Chains A and B, each alone.
Chain A
């Protein structure tokens, strides 16, 4: 794995109160890679995603600590707009959050608008059509279903064809019939966008990401402090 890949992380972490430390020991990804953070609820999967994305202030846990996204070295001091543009990172969150006062169309375009970028028209139309959002774009978030909201967040995350797509329990609110369909859509569209994908999920053992590479997870109790560690190196140590 080269340092110029999409993700290169060594030994960064964050303390959550006095009793939990979430650490990403090692993670390397190239364009098109798909990995799954497969751990029990409460293990800090969302926090690990935040750490990887540079959305949370990471602590260097050792002298060999490293955090690079798309070749860009990430530090807590670096302004987010320097590395979190829609062409770098895309987020799909568990809660399907949409800005309630923006239309579906405006929500889809929001990351690009913030970054001052224009979406590729063909790619946008492809996303909207593929995700079944045609005819819904002028509606407000309260006027679409939960499943449609989820597909809007996927369109929003992929519109900038990001280097890295981060998915945090993206199908947890969907019924089982739709789960497989949405996961397959994400997989295909991420491939179309050329994005590397990190999926944080506790139900990825089946569905479209069942065969994806797993990031290992282990926990250690050191003097009453729980260390929750994620690493490519922990093969066979997944806590499902």
Chain B
């Protein structure tokens, strides 16, 4: 039997519409600022985090100094769930090709950094650079007027007994690394090609004609390129690498700082929201209890007329749900308008959206509202439980 108590609950709220409006206004007054702050937090911090996540370089851990990392080390690190990509590097700083030449266009760039790559390189998306191929940073490709599918000459020089010797390798451009991922000049080449370059410079017995023949993989490497799977993995992975004897540091320290800031901000927001919710809960419980007190004789009379205890007790529960429901609806309308205004104000800002509420925020607010409504009406329900028929009989 819910229709009659629901009807009584609605009629009482309608009768005392000013009180109901005040109550809804109180809820909106607490909830709306909290949701606006949440939306701003989601928008500004979320956008910054999204940008960090989108940029793989923020997930890169740089090896500090030179080491001696063997195959077992690379197998162990590559097997970790928090590692997205690792490839050996021959030096702690990038090897440099003497020049890269686009012969047909007569373009040449000197001292081009060589970066080892392999399958799964976050900077290259799904592209795999095989032996004899290369990916160019967008800036370098533009400078040399090279496009995917074209060839260019990589020139590796060395001095032997005072004579300058150059080894030339023609590589095919198979990929372009976008500027937002890598802004400087660089060639991304396979590890065998990089090893060949190093060997030509170190081994006097090799000639510019034979420098790429009979190449073996090294037993250990001085460095590596390493990317964590997620920003949150950086700290743990850094610690694990240190334990494995590899000193590393995040390329973007601000990423971890921002993550920490986000975590602290989440805790701070949760604390403020909790305090606000507790305050509202107390105000709501007191208000509903006050309504019961004002309608004490009516509740007693309803008992005298045979309205069941369950039906009587459900009246403040319905009222609580209705008031909170209306309050949340009004809040969403107001907050929606505020967010539209804010986002229009930031329309030219680099962020995609300055303030936003996600479906989870909306659902969470509704669930929290229902829980608050149900629990806050408990005091009123208890009060009704103690109102018997004798009150109306003795009421004078």
Q: What residues of chain A have their CB less than 8 Å away from a CB belonging to chain B?
A: 46-47, 49-50, 55-56, 79-81, 84-86, 91, 93-95, 97, 99-102, 106, 110-111, 113-115, 140, 168
Contact = CB atoms under 8 A, between A and B. Distances in A.
Contacts of B381: none
Contact of B392 (A47, A97, A100, A110): A97
Contacts of B14: 101
Interface in B282-318: 295, 297-298, 301-308
Contacts of B8: 99, 101-102
Given A97-B297, A114-B307, A50 B11 contact: no
A80 B303 contact: yes
Given A99-B301, A101-B11, A101-B15, A93 B392 contact: yes
B12 interface: yes
B220 interface: no
B302 A114 contact: yes
27 contacts: A46-B393, A46-B394, A50-B393, A55-B389, A56-B389, A56-B390, A79-B308, A80-B389, A84-B304, A84-B305, A84-B306, A86-B305, A93-B301, A93-B392, A95-B395, A97-B297, A97-B392, A99-B8, A100-B15, A100-B298, A101-B8, A102-B8, A110-B305, A111-B306, A113-B4, A114-B4, A115-B306
B396 interface: yes
Given A55-B393, A97-B395, A114 B11 contact: no
Interface in B307-333: 307-308
Contacts of A140: 15
Contacts, number: 72
Given A100-B298, A101-B11, A114-B4, A80 B395 contact: no
B54 interface: no
Contact of B394 (A47, A81, A84, A102): A47
A99 B298 contact: yes
A85 B307 CA distance: 10
Interface string B368-396: 00000000000000000000011011111
Contacts of A101: 8, 11-12, 14-16
B293 to A, nearest CB: 14
A47 B389 CA distance: 10
B389 A94 contact: no
B305 A111 contact: yes
A91 B393 CA distance: 10
Q: Chain B binding site: helix, strand, loop or mixed by DSSP?
A: helix
Given A46-B394, A97-B297, A55 B12 contact: no
Nearest to B294: A100
Given A47-B394, A114-B4, A115-B306, A97 B389 contact: no
B304 A91 contact: yes
B14 to A, nearest CB: 7
Given A55-B393, A99-B302, 9 more contacts: A85-B306, A93-B301, A97-B301, A101-B8, A101-B12, A102-B8, A113-B4, A114-B4, A114-B307
Contacts of A93: 301, 392-393, 395
Smallest CB-CB A-B distances: 7 pairs: A101-B15, A55-B389, A101-B12, A84-B306, A81-B306, A50-B393, A101-B11
A47 B394 CA distance: 7
Contacts of A56: 389-390, 393
Nearest to B13: A101
Interface in B144-169: none
B238 to A, nearest CB: 66
Interface string B266-283: 000000000000000000
A50 B392 CA distance: 10
Nearest to B11: A101
Contacts of A94: 395-396
A56 B308 CA distance: 15
Contacts of A97: 297-298, 301, 392, 395
A56 to B, nearest CB: 6
Contact of A49 (B11, B15, B307, B393): B393
A62 to B, nearest CB: 23
B315 to A, nearest CB: 11
A84 B304 CA distance: 8
Contacts of B307: 114
Contacts of B396: 94-95
A76 B300 CA distance: 17
Contacts of B295: 100
Given A101-B12, A101-B15, A113-B4, A80 B306 contact: yes
Contacts of B392: 93, 95, 97
A37 to B, nearest CB: 13
A95 B391 CA distance: 12
Given A97-B297, A101-B14, A101-B15, A114 B393 contact: no
A114 B305 contact: yes
Contacts of B15: 100-101, 140
Question: A55, A85, A111 — which one has the most chain B CB atoms within 10 A of its CB?
Answer: A55
Contacts of A80: 303, 306, 389
A114 B311 CA distance: 10
A151 B250 CA distance: 85
A56 B392 CA distance: 11
